[in-house]
A and B are shown apart, each in its own frame.
Chain A
Amino acid sequence: MSVLKSIFGQDVDTTSSTYLGKPTSRVDGPAKVTGGAKYAAEFNVPNLLYGYIVSSGAARGTIRSINAAEVEQVSGVVKVFTHDNAPKTAYLDRSHRDQIAPDSGSPFRPLYQAELEYSFQPVALVVADSFEAARYAASLVKVEYDLKPHETDLRANLGKAHPPTDTRAGYVSAPKKPRGTPDEAYAAAAHKVEAEYSQPIEFHLPMESYASTAAYGEDGKLTIYQKTQGVQNCQEYVCSVFGLSSGDVQVISPYMGGGFGSGLRPTYDIYLSVLAATALKRSVRVSMTRQQMFSFSHRPEAIQHLKLAAREDGMLDSVTHTAIEETSQNEEYLETVVNWSGLMYNCPNVRLDHQLVNLDLASPADMRAPGAVTGLYAYECAVDELAYQAKMDPLAFREKNYAEKDQNADKIFSSKELREAYRQAAARFGWKDRPLEPRSMKKGSDLIGWGMASGSWEAMQGKAAAKLVLTADGKLLASSATSDIGTGTYTVMTMIAAEFSGVAIEDVTFQLGDSSMVYSPVEGGSWTVSSVGSAVKTVCGELRARLFKLAGKVDGAPLGDATIEDLTFANGAMHVTGNPVRNVTYTEALRAGKLDRLELDTTELPQLAKQATHALYSHSSVFAEVSVDEDLGTIHVNRVVSAIAGGRILNPKTARSQIMGAIVWGISMALEEEGMLDDHVGRFMNHNYAEYHIPVAADIHDIEVIFVPEHDEVVNPLGAKGLGEIGMVGVAAAVTNAVWHATGKRVRSLPVTLDKLL
């Protein structure tokens, strides 16, 4: 194992900020490493019952019988819930749709009907007075099915592909009409590529399994400790599904052991824990097994067809990109897959098409950089193929076709330092020495290859609120109902609050993960800093204004006739800039106003008018070196350099961790990950960490992360674009392009396992 490196230098903020832009360790680090941080399955309440989920062994058919009554006789068992006896929940599909659900699907309802929807779906919940009893009794549950034929094979069902009929917030459908005349341009072009790329189903698989501890209060109110990326989304869902009033349900999720999108929508453990708790009027915990972590969400399998063409001089002239993805029978999972191909490089003639095939599988779900990772894997590989056709260096090809505006929407970018990202990453990597021809570099029995790709992700902002409580001791408590899925939300929000309130960072606490806090959208899509962070910034501005007003009441008027613009707010005090003696501490200001606390909140909305005229995106430029054993096909990724243009970098330390993790995941996608579906039984077979491969330490070598400076006043008040997704986009393409450069073989189906190179 070699060292993971990163170079800063450029990314340390040069504006006169106190905290932002400075590498800052996680404020929740000590709690996490000492076990003080509690996760959903660790909240113990008195008289807790334990629910163990029984999963179906078949994909399609009808449940004929379940020996529930028999299992209820087992010592310790309180109840066995099945579709036969589960209390009825809301009738309408609408009531089961959470904030992230497609607009008009029928979300999966556990224990709702005898009809099976997919293999491994929950079919019973055994509730007992100990986990062991529940687990044992669950092993005695016998389910008999009348089987029906199922369809889980995307390729075999391509004939059923259809354009999406549904919509969902954030989904940008492919343009209905082509831009220009892609067919004519393709026919006339000097250089052409036509190829199909496929990728398997991949799973989120966070370390922490989903768990829900529904504490049933004496007053019948529910406090639910839940693993989720959106406490308020879960709270609304539970109220709507179970007909509970919002005052009676509180959802709490202070920590999350990874989400990656799997917890954006309420997972079936919360449905089952609430179902059991309300039916039994007892507190109930339901947690998933590792195997069940393969049973409710995934990145959809995709088969993509690309036709690209360039003119003699290497100008990109035609793009046709069709992506076909699977979804479940009950919902159309929608992610933006092909639009990126009309955006990345200049091209006058573009046709984009996104289609779906309904299969007997669980609904897919957003998974790190959903859509972009898929679409740009295929597109960036095809671009590499085209550049080689044109006998051009793939970086030179991209620079030549650099897009100065978003041609899909005909808008200029709010900022786009991708050119600089190319320059810095290429220099660091040593790209200029790359031979154009594949199979040009060798070391012992290994072939060496260099590949690159670029990526893009939307810089989104949503409505969000933040609340502040400043107390007489000068301490500031900030909060919002967002979550920290491991990305460092606690830390960055603490930094933002300290920066803009002028309270020293040691005196600032940020709280999140409680549905009773002020509004926040789910944490996903890299929009938390931009949405919640902007709200924190704004409310801090309001706090300063209030404190300034109060300061006027302080005896002797130390600030004189200074206006708020004349003041510096820092270390829990305001002073006349350049004259620190003329100051008022926040404590003094509160005392002067006869207040023991100051409480205020605000809701921040995106500045739509400003944003609407611009295209808002982050960008990446990724370079990879692989070595491939020529005889055995084993691949090692020796090094990766990634330069990110992601707006202002608020915390370079956690930012770098985000990008490094994303690069590891990109390597994983390129070389290892595959949900192995047995279409005969309609079931994933490698449902554990031993057989579903993700990289181990020995697979990961040098990784360098560069942040290029990017100034952006449009994207949001912080100028930060969010970094959760962008680091992964393009990595799989860079690695597979490097494999081609090493071997001369284009492997167009992921993962590139060694057998595909023999």
Chain B
Amino acid sequence: MINFSYSRAGSVAEAVGAKGKADGAGRFIAGGTNLVDLLKENVERPCAVIDISRLPLKTIEEAPDGGLRLGALATNADTAYHPEVQRRYPALSRAILAGASAQLRNMATNGGNLLQRTRCYYFYDVALPCNKRQPGSGCPAIKGQNRVCGVLGTSDDCIATHPSDMCIALAALEAAVRVSGPRGERTIPFAEFHTLPGHTPDIENTLAPDEIITAIDLPPSPYAGHSVYTKVRDRASYAFALVSVAALLDLDGDTIKSARVALGGVAHKPWRLPEAEALLTGKTATKENFLPVAQALFAGAHGYEHNFFKIELGKRAVVRALQLAARGTAAIKGVNGQTADA
């Protein structure tokens, strides 16, 4: 039998202590919807499993700056259906609801969602090499079945994507990740949380091995009236995004004061390009003005045998999402391409 120790952390400090002691071979378990699958597939083989699911990090509360603080252990479902999230951060609510299934969202936590691992087929199949799972073993996806892989920010060592929907909205909202560790607490801006694969695809974020996520801070947002999450996938529900777009507009009449666009399904991290967003500042919200943003976002894209299409699809999805955002959050319920509910 694979023996691992199981402990239930009574406090954040205890959790961090136990994790530090396990020295890289420990794993927190929250909802378990990703970790348990990976245990079953022999991809994850921790020697210590530290249950954090009962830590008091489940609240969703007002943040001091007027934003909202999402507890790391609040479930994806509780977060998506929270009235303040729905009212002030509708794209986040919709992104969460576009993911997984109702059952999974009831189990999945916000912290776990950030740290869920790629769905690259090779990562899951221990009979084959994979640089992310076994550094230096190779990347069969580059020449293999790479429909689910990325087209932006890939490297010669790994072309995997981060599969989260929630994180795409968080990136667009410029959330911050609050973490706690033996060196105290710190806050990581969302853009700096996930990393690109480079030569170390096994490293996916800037969280230290002995740190725990305690909360996600959402800053006040002027975008609630024009927020969209468009997810394009191979079936209507229960499928990861081929391409997804979180689009947020702050409009003055028809004129765009500021815009945010984040892409999912295309890179090892939620993909944003502030220069592309800046193209919209002061412009009117028309398709003609959205096209250059789409072009700019995918300017450096590189497709592989089975996912070239994501470049064209991604551009079209950006335009669609911005068009829908321009129409307003309230107007777009149920419109095709704005997949609100999974």
Is B a genuine binding partner of A? Answer: yes
- Which residue numbers of A lie inside 8 Å of B, CB to CB? 55-57, 75-76, 132-133, 136, 139, 444-446, 627, 629, 631-634, 636, 671-672, 676-678, 680-681, 683, 685-688, 690-691, 693, 695-699, 753-755, 758
Residues of B close to A76: CB separation below 8 A: 1
Assembled-state Cα–Cα distance A671/B242 (Å): 15
Residue of A nearest to B239 (CB): A693
Q: In the complex, A636→B143 CA distance in Å?
A: 31
Interchain CB contact (< 8 A) of B128 among A75, A633, A683, A754: A683
Contact call A57/B312, Cβ cutoff below 8 A: no
Q: Is the interface of B mostly helix, strand, loop or mixed?
A: loop
Q: Are A698 and B317 in contact (CB under 8 A)?
A: no
The answer on a CB contact under 8 Å between B125 and A685 is yes
Q: Assess whether B119 is in contact with A691, with CB atoms less than 8 Å apart.
A: yes
Query: What residue in chain B is nearest A634 (Cβ atoms)?
Result: B232
A687: which B residues are within 8 A, CB to CB? 125
CB pair B336 A634 closer than 8 Å: yes
A697 contacts which chain B residues (CB < 8 A)? 237
Q: How far is the CA of A166 from the CA of B21 in the complex (A)?
A: 64
Q: Does chain A have a CB within 8 A of B299? A: no
Whether A695 lies near B232 (C-beta < 8 A) is no
Output the least CB separation between B35 and chain A (Å). Answer: 15
Residue of B nearest to A627 (CB): B336
- Determine the distance from Cα of A276 to Cα of B124 in the docked complex, in whole angstroms: 30
Given A445-B336, A758-B312, is A676 in contact with B121 using a C-beta cutoff of 8 Å?
yes
Question: Which of these, B121, B122, B128, B337, contacts A634 with CB under 8 Å?
Answer: B337
- The CA of A685 and the CA of B124, in the complex, are separated in Å by 9
Are the C-beta atoms of B335 and A755 separated by less than 8 Å?
Answer: no
Whether A696 and B128, one on each chain, are in contact in the complex, defined by CB atoms closer than 8 angstroms, is no
By a CB distance below 8 angstroms, the chain A residues around B147 are 676
Residue of B nearest to A75 (CB): B1
Given contacts A57-B128, A690-B119, contact A699 B144 (CB under 8 A): no
The residue of chain B having its C-beta at the shortest distance from the C-beta of A672 within the complex is B235
Contact assessment for B313 and A444 in the assembled complex, using a CB-CB cutoff below 8 Å: no
Q: A132-B1, A699-B235 are in contact. Are A678 and B335 (CB under 8 A)?
A: no
A754 touches B127 (CB 8 A): no
Q: When the two chains form their complex, are residues B316 and A685 in contact, meaning their CB atoms are under 8 A apart?
A: no
Q: What would 18 more interface pairs be, CB under 8 Å, given A676-B147, A693-B239?
A: A57-B128, A133-B1, A136-B2, A139-B2, A627-B336, A632-B232, A632-B337, A634-B232, A672-B234, A672-B235, A680-B140, A681-B140, A681-B144, A683-B127, A685-B122, A691-B121, A698-B235, A755-B313
Question: Once bound together, how far apart are the Cα atoms of A677 and B145, in whole Å?
Answer: 7
Kindly identify, within residues 285 to 341 of chain B, every residue whose CB is under 8 Å from any CB belonging to chain A: 309, 312-313, 316-317, 319-320, 335-337
Q: Note all chain B residues with C-beta closer than 8 A to A133.
A: 1
Instruction: Say whether A57 contacts B336, CB under 8 Å.
Output: no
B residues touching A (Cβ–Cβ < 8 Å)?
A: 1-2, 42, 119, 121-122, 124-125, 127-128, 140, 143-145, 147-148, 232, 234-239, 242, 309, 312-313, 316-317, 319-320, 335-337, 342
A631 close to B1 (CB less than 8 A)? no
Contacts of A445 in B (CB 8 A): 336-337
Nearest CB of B to A126, in Å = 13
Q: Are A636 and B236 in contact (CB under 8 A)?
A: yes
In angstroms, Cα B320 to Cα A693, docked, is: 25
Q: How far is the CB of A569 from chain B (nearest CB, A)?
A: 51
Contact A629 B337 (CB under 8 A): yes
A753 touches B337 (CB 8 A): no
Which residue of A55, A445, A627, A632 has the most chain B CB atoms within 10 A of its CB atom?
A: A632
Question: B99: shortest Cβ distance to chain A, in Å?
Answer: 12
Interchain CA distance A754-B124 in the complex, whole Å = 25
> What CA separation (Å) do A629 and B313 show in the bound complex?
12
> Could you say which of A686, A688, A691, A758 contacts B309, with CB atoms under 8 Å apart?
A758
List 12 interface pairs A-B (beta carbons < 8 Å), by A numbering: A446-B336, A631-B320, A631-B337, A633-B313, A678-B144, A685-B121, A685-B122, A691-B148, A693-B235, A696-B239, A754-B234, A755-B313
Q: B122: nearest residue on chain A (CB-CB)?
A: A685
B237/A686 in contact, CB under 8 A:
no
For A678, list chain B residues within 8 Å (CB).
140, 144-145
Q: Which 4 A-B pairs have the closest CB atoms?
A: A57-B127, A755-B309, A698-B236, A685-B121
| Residues on A with beta carbons closer than 8 Å to the beta carbon of B2 | 136, 139
**Which chain A residues border B312 with CB–CB below 8 Å?**
758
Q: Is the CB of B316 within 8 A of A632?
A: yes
Tell me the nearest residue of chain B to A631, going by C-beta.
B316
- Nearest A residue to B101 by beta-carbon distance? A696
Residue of B nearest to A633 (CB): B313
